[in-house]
């Protein structure tokens, strides 16, 4: 098996191991650990637990629920109590086997149990493989907001088995493609220059067909971009890491407003189109660049417009965006431009109106 290795240059540094069959590497990675607490969800455990567990001497499995409701403080308390009953000590390790919900919740539990035990991230959804499992952000939700309680807790390593993507539902796969479209735009604006946009353009059919070789390359390119950004700004203090929120200002507003049948990645896809059109209308990028990018999103089958957008008032979405936790007062967007991706405050009203029209809001 060919395994790509991408380093995350932090202190301590860690590696992301990417490729078909990477699950088989997990027992060897943990061979020195006395106890291994594996956190997963039942559907994922049924499919993938045996591959890692059969090679581990002393492991226990703790299942959590599905969906955002499971990302809660009560789940974290339950896990910590499970860990204590199992006898997990500071030198032992937690394995997060699942999508972003498992990764964020198990990662946060590991960050607080015994004031911090090691965690190995083993992401199984496309979104978690290219994004959530890398960079050490862990969090759970409280009724007042999503991801409001969390910690930075870097994993000891990330094992990304792209074979697990074969069992992902078409919707969840498309959701991951939304984040990949984000990386295409990020790499196009000079953060990394990995050739991602060319791969997406030249191999669209293979990407959509989940071709194993193309998937391994695609995921590795995205991990490379995320690793570079995280290493440059591990605690999201300089604004570099905030560029990963490209497309997320509108996406979060759509998710907060609710009432759409959109996954996170689909909302991000619409948010990216909005950001690109806003950048064009504000004179930051050419019409040709905006068009080239929009064609990548459309060839991946991602939504380009807000469903039922003609019934939605731009002002309602703007009000939600002004409350966005990343905003420094007014409205803040990550936008492409000739100097790369930048945080831009309060873009011109007519440019905003144009961008809303481009994503079908307000008729």
Ligand X SMILES: NC(=O)c1ccc[n+]([C@@H]2O[C@H](COP(=O)([O-])OP(=O)(O)OC[C@H]3O[C@@H](n4cnc5c(N)ncnc54)[C@H](O)[C@@H]3O)[C@@H](O)[C@H]2O)c1
Q: Which of 11, 32, 115, 288 is catalytic?
A: 115
Which of 58, 167, 202, 328: binder of ligand X (CB under 6 A)? 167
Q: Which of 33, 35, 82, 245 is catalytic?
A: 245
**Contacts of 46-50 spanning 24+ positions with Cβ under 8 A:** 47/164, 47/167, 48/23, 48/97, 48/124, 48/161, 48/164, 49/97
N residues, the chain: 363
Q: Between residues 33 and 241, which has the closer beta carbon with respect to ligand X?
A: 241
Q: Between residues 275 and 285, which has the closer beta carbon with respect to ligand X?
A: 275
The CA-based diameter of the chain, rounded to the nearest angstrom, is 63
Q: Between residues 99 and 234, which has the closer beta carbon with respect to ligand X?
A: 99
Q: Which of 4, 153, 264, 284 is catalytic?
A: 264
Torsion of CA 141, 145, 149, 152, to 10 degrees: 100
Instruction: Indicate whether 175 belongs to the interface with ligand X (CB under 6 A).
Output: yes
Cα separation, 266 vs 264, in Å, equals 5
Which of 6, 29, 30, 168: binder of ligand X (CB under 6 A)? 168
In DSSP notation, 103-167 reads HHHHHHHHHHGGG--EEEEEE-SHHIIIIITSS-EEEEEETTEEEEEEEE---SEEEEEGGGGGG
Residue 46: other Cβ atoms inside 10 A: 11
- Reply yes or no on whether 137 is catalytic: yes
- At closest approach, how far in Å is the CB of 82 from ligand X? 19
Within residues 90-149, the interface with ligand X by CB under 6 A covers 98-102, 104, 124-125, 127-128, 131-132, 135, 137, 147
- Reply yes or no on whether 153 is catalytic: no
- Reply yes or no on whether 236 is catalytic: yes
- Reply yes or no on whether 17 is catalytic: no
Angle between helices 314-322 and 248-257 (to 10 degrees): 110
Cα separation, 25 vs 39, in Å, equals 18
- Reply yes or no on whether 4 is catalytic: no
Within residues 41-80, the interface with ligand X by CB under 6 A covers 41, 43-44, 66-68, 71
- Reply yes or no on whether 179 is catalytic: yes
Cα separation, 48 vs 24, in Å, equals 10
Q: Between residues 108 and 274, which has the closer beta carbon with respect to ligand X?
A: 108
Three-point CA angle 345, 348, 350, nearest 5°: 145
Which of 72, 111, 121, 164: binder of ligand X (CB under 6 A)? 164
Within residues 246-265, the interface with ligand X by CB under 6 A covers 264
- At closest approach, how far in Å is the CB of 10 from ligand X? 14
Task: Count the residues of the shown chain that bind ligand X, applying the rule CB under 6 A.
Answer: 28
Which residues of the chain form contacts with ligand X (CB under 6 A)?
Answer: 41, 43-44, 66-68, 71, 98-102, 104, 124-125, 127-128, 131-132, 135, 137, 147, 164, 167-168, 172, 175, 264
List, by residue number, the catalytic residues.
115, 137, 179, 226, 236, 241, 245, 248, 252, 264
């Amino acid at each position: 098996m060919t395994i790509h290795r991408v380093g995350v240059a932090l202190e301590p540094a860690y590696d992301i191991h990417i490729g078909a069959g990477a699950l088989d590497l997990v027992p060897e990675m943990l061979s020195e650990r006395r106890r291994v607490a594996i956190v997963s969800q039942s559907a994922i455990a049924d499919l993938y637990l045996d591959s890692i567990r059969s090679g581990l001497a002393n492991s226990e499995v703790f299942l959590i629920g599905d969906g955002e409701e499971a990302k809660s403080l009560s789940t974290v308390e339950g896990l910590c109590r499970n860990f204590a009953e199992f006898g997990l000590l500071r030198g032992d390790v937690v394995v997060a086997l699942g999508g972003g919900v498992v990764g964020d919740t198990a990662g946060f539990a590991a960050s607080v149990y015994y004031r911090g035990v090691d965690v190995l991230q083993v992401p199984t959804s496309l979104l978690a493989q290219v994004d959530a499992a890398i960079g050490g952000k862990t969090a759970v939700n409280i009724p007042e907001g999503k991801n409001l309680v969390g910690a930075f807790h870097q994993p000891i390593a990330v094992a990304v088995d792209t074979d697990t993507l074969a069992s992902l539902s078409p919707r969840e796969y498309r959701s991951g493609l939304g984040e990949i479209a984000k990386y295409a735009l990020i790499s196009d604006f000079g953060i990394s220059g990995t050739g991602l946009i060319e791969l997406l353009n030249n191999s669209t059919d293979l990407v959509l067909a989940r071709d194993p070789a193309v998937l391994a390359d695609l995921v590795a390119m995205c991990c490379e971009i995320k690793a570079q950004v995280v290493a440059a700004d591990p605690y999201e203090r300089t604004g570099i890491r905030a560029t990963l929120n490209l497309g997320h200002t509108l996406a979060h507003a759509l998710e907060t407003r609710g009432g759409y049948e959109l996954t996170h990645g689909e909302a991000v896809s619409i948010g990216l189109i909005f950001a690109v059109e806003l950048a064009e209308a504000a004179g930051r990028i050419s019409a040709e660049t905006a068009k080239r990018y929009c064609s990548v999103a459309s060839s991946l089958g991602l939504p380009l417009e807000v469903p039922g957008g003609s019934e939605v008032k731009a002002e309602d979405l703007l009000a939600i965006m002004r409350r966005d936790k990343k905003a420094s007062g007014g409205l803040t967007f990550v936008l492409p431009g000739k100097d790369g991706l930048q945080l831009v405050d309060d873009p011109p009203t007519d440019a905003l109106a144009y961008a809303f029209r481009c994503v079908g809001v307000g008729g």
